Amino acid sequence: MPRPPQTKTSTRKISERRLSDVAKHLVVPSGIKTTGYPAVEAQCRKMGVQHDPWQKGLGRAILAKRENGLYAAGIGGVLISICRQVGKTFSIGTIVFALCILFPGIKVLWTAHHSATSDETFETLSALARRRRIAPYIAHNGIRQGNGKQRIKFANGSRIMFGAREHGFGRGIPGVTIVVFDEAQILKAKALSDMIPAANTATNPLIIYMGTPPKPDDPAEVFRARRKKALAIKEQRAKGDPVDYDTLYVEVGADAGDDVEDRATLEKANPSFPDRTPWESILRLRENLTDPSDWAREGLGIWDEEELGGSREIMAEEWQATEVTAVPEEGLRALGVAFSADGTRVAVAGALKHSGGSHLELIDANTGSLEEGIGPLADWIALRAHTIAQITISGRAGADALALALRERKVSAKAIRVASTPEYFAACSMLPDAVRGTTVTHPAAPEGDLLDASVAVCDKKFRGTAGSWGWAATTADGDETPTEAISLALWGVRTTKRRPGKKQEVI
Ligand SMILES: Nc1ncnc2c1ncn2[C@@H]1O[C@H](COP(=O)(O)OP(=O)(O)OP(=O)(O)O)[C@@H](O)[C@H]1O
Ligand SMILES: [Mg+2]
């Protein structure tokens, strides 16, 4: 347990620390030209609220705008990983109040996973709304209690609605411009995609995800994946690469390996301690967090060491968005064949290019056919080769042998392409771009589908210095070859000039 502070909190000077001193990771959106914070700060002053230096920095970053006047983090949103009792509710709450007052008639959705958290936030912000200098901005009878109905309404028509995601609150509410996801470490992609369309219709939406580092079994796919992406962007920028980024990522916390019982660690993690958050509040929190690793995460904002937890480049919601039940039949066909580095696994995929894009399907993966040699695979492909524009093969362990076996079976040399390393990289990066641009589709598959399982654990593995990358599975039993195979099939169908069946192509 950290030792109590030596001086009384009331006599201490408010922390002078700025956001950049406080944040362990601060990854800002690109293209920032201005910020909407000064107006918010002025409004806060009228409400008798004075932000501390780090909170001002946070406000400036959240409300940063691009040249077009829209929020720079308007697309990816604002992600804040921060420990408990640091002033999340206060900081974001006062900013949201000021925005509600400055922009009449706006709708804000404030959700937490648990109703206990949501109720507590509503209580805290109701108390704020009743303050002498804030109450005049609130509508008559503007504070409404009641399960699932809690809201604060301002005199100018703006309102904040509160509710818990565990009870399905927040789906399909139209006209929302600001969404706050509290407890963002408990947020599944599905819940997110159910709620986000509500804000998508707004011209200048602001979506704030805030939470503590997740426990191992928290459904934190959204939070983990976005943090990972932010850290990769940070790394790229450190190398001098000015990458585009439409998200703000702020991580406040102590470092892994810090002594969790040391008071200095607490001060490092929590810029509001002890000036704003008194020792008693920390003690109360600690009573509920007896396990040191819970304390490290929630009390000190320390993320667990990155385990082989299965990270993914293509997010579940992105992948789902390209699912189809009706499969196109007419079009140009290509195959992709990916061998694993050790040659023990292989996956075969097909791509069909039609007028609306390309359809991708996994045909077979890791069926053990390699134990019988690549003969059966070559037979299977050769039988269909006359309908196929290109067969793109990667993986040194099997590519040349398969190419040879295909030649022996009279498959046109022009149809066989053993991908060079740059071609392999090009194929890999083509896939996420195509998924995001929804220019590809794949079949909706039942639970346990090999392609879905592969995409779910495949992430970028950077090779060399030029930023090129290939697919790698991020779990011990994950298989990258199905994702590679569809990437190769897509690349082949898009780049080949062959049109099978034409006279000059006949062997
Ligand atoms: N700028 C400030 N001015 C006045 N009080 C502040 C300021 N910043 C933080 N506080 C105070 O710090 C305390 C902790 O803030 P808050 O309740 O918002 O923390 P939190 O991070 O939401 O905590 P929890 O994780 O428990 O929900 C509150 O008493 C809040 O009023
Ligand atoms: Mg709070």
Instruction: Work out which ligand 1 atom sits closest to the CA atom of 90.
Output: 18
pLDDT for residue 507 is more than 60: no
What is the predicted pLDDT for the residue at 11?
43
C-beta separation of 316 from 189 below 8 A: yes
Instruction: Work out which ligand 1 atom sits closest to the CA atom of 86.
Output: 21
- C-alpha of residue 252 to centroid of ligand 1, in Å: 15
Does 97 or 173 have the greater pLDDT score? 97
- The protein residue with its alpha carbon nearest to ligand 1, atom 25, reads 84
Of 7-11, 215-219, 231-235, minimum mean pLDDT range: 7-11
Of 108-112, 281-285, 288-292, 380-384, minimum mean pLDDT range: 288-292
- The protein residue with its alpha carbon nearest to ligand 1, atom 2, reads 51
Q: What is the fold of 23-250?
A: Rossmann fold (3.40.50)
Contacts of 454 (CB under 8 A, 6+ apart): 347, 365, 473, 478, 479, 480, 481, 482, 483
Percent of the chain with pLDDT over 70: 93
CATH of domain 316-505: 3.30.420.240
Compute the distance between CA of residue 161 and CA of residue 300 in angstroms, rounded to an integer.
Answer: 29
What is the predicted pLDDT for the residue at 47?
98
> Torsions phi, psi of 189, nearest 5?
-55, -35
- C-alpha of residue 231 to centroid of ligand 1, in Å: 27
The distance from CA 260 to its chain's CA centroid, rounded to whole angstroms, is 28
- C-alpha of residue 81 to centroid of ligand 2, in Å: 13
Which segments of 295-420 does DSSP mark as H helices, in order? Answer: 316-320, 375-384, 399-408
- The protein residue with its alpha carbon nearest to ligand 1, atom 29, reads 277
- C-alpha of residue 91 to centroid of ligand 2, in Å: 9
What is the predicted pLDDT for the residue at 200?
65
Instruction: Work out which ligand 1 atom sits closest to the CA atom of 124.
Output: 17
Compute the distance between CA of residue 499 and CA of residue 80 in angstroms, rounded to an integer.
Answer: 51
Compute the distance between CA of residue 312 and CA of residue 225 in angstroms, rounded to an integer.
Answer: 7
- DSSP class of residue 65? E
Which has the closest alpha carbon to 301: 253, 250, 249, 261? Answer: 253
- The protein residue with its alpha carbon nearest to ligand 1, atom 23, reads 85
- C-alpha of residue 293 to centroid of ligand 1, in Å: 23
* Domain boundaries of the chain, sorted by first residue: 23-250, 316-505
C-beta separation of 473 from 457 below 8 A: yes
Instruction: Work out which ligand 1 atom sits closest to the CA atom of 55.
Output: 1
Instruction: Work out which ligand 1 atom sits closest to the CA atom of 117.
Output: 27
SS3 of the chain: helix, strand, coil, percent, to 5: 40, 20, 40
- The protein residue with its alpha carbon nearest to ligand 1, atom 6, reads 276
- C-alpha of residue 175 to centroid of ligand 1, in Å: 29
Instruction: Work out which ligand 1 atom sits closest to the CA atom of 49.
Output: 3
From residue 17, alpha-carbon distances to 21, 56, 115, 334, 360 in Å are 6, 11, 33, 58, 52
Of 52, 89, 280, best ligand 1 pocket probe by most atoms within 8 Å of the beta carbon? 89
What is the predicted pLDDT for the residue at 437?
94
pLDDT for residue 427 is more than 80: yes
- Under the banding of pLDDT at 50, 70 and 90, the label for residue 232 is confident
Mean pLDDT (whole number) for 38-51: 98
Of 82, 90, 279, best ligand 1 pocket probe by most atoms within 8 Å of the beta carbon? 90
What six digits make up the tokens of 375?
């003969």
Name the residue with tokens 């002078």: 16
- C-alpha of residue 64 to centroid of ligand 1, in Å: 23
Of 91, 266, 276, best ligand 1 pocket probe by most atoms within 8 Å of the beta carbon? 276
Of 94-98, 151-155, 456-460, minimum mean pLDDT range: 456-460
Strand pairing of 77-81 and 247-252?
A: parallel
C-beta separation of 403 from 381 below 8 A: no
One DSSP character per residue, 337-363 reads EEE-TTSS-EEEEEEEEETTEEEEEEE
What is the C-alpha end-to-end distance of the chain, expressed in Å?
78
pLDDT for residue 198 is more than 80: no
* Ligand sitting nearest the alpha carbon of 271: 1
- The protein residue with its alpha carbon nearest to ligand 1, atom 5, reads 276
Of 47, 50, 121, 272, best ligand 1 pocket probe by most atoms within 8 Å of the beta carbon? 272
Angle at CA of residue 7, ends 16 and 284, nearest 5°:
90
Residues 429-462: tens digit of each pLDDT: 999 999 999 999 999 988 889 999 999 999 988 7
> Torsions phi, psi of 14, nearest 5?
-60, 140
- C-alpha of residue 10 to centroid of ligand 1, in Å: 15
Percent of the chain with pLDDT over 90: 69
What is the predicted pLDDT for the residue at 7?
42
DSSP H/E element including 190:
helix 189-200
Residues 139-150: tens digit of each pLDDT: 999 999 987 799
- DSSP class of residue 211? E
pLDDT for residue 160 is more than 80: yes
Instruction: Work out which ligand 1 atom sits closest to the CA atom of 52.
Output: 1
- The protein residue with its alpha carbon nearest to ligand 1, atom 16, reads 87
Which has the closest alpha carbon to 33: 61, 66, 58? Answer: 66
What is the predicted pLDDT for the residue at 448?
82
- Under the banding of pLDDT at 50, 70 and 90, the label for residue 372 is low
- Look over the chain and give the mean of its residue pLDDT values, rounded to a whole number: 90
Mean pLDDT (whole number) for 119-130: 97
Residues 471-504: tens digit of each pLDDT: 998 877 789 999 999 999 999 999 999 998 654 4
What six digits make up the tokens of 371?
């134990």
- Under the banding of pLDDT at 50, 70 and 90, the label for residue 309 is low
Compute the distance between CA of residue 145 and CA of residue 123 in angstroms, rounded to an integer.
Answer: 9
- DSSP class of residue 437? T
**Taking CB atoms and a 6 Å cutoff, what residues make up the pocket around ligand 1?**
50-52, 55, 84-90, 124, 272, 276-277
- Under the banding of pLDDT at 50, 70 and 90, the label for residue 5 is very low
* Helices and strands in the chain, H and E counts: 16, 20
pLDDT for residue 464 is more than 90: no
From residue 321, alpha-carbon distances to 1, 9, 174, 219, 224 in Å are 47, 52, 21, 20, 20
* Ligand sitting nearest the alpha carbon of 47: 1
Of 77-86, 284-293, 330-339, minimum mean pLDDT range: 284-293
Instruction: Work out which ligand 1 atom sits closest to the CA atom of 182.
Output: 27
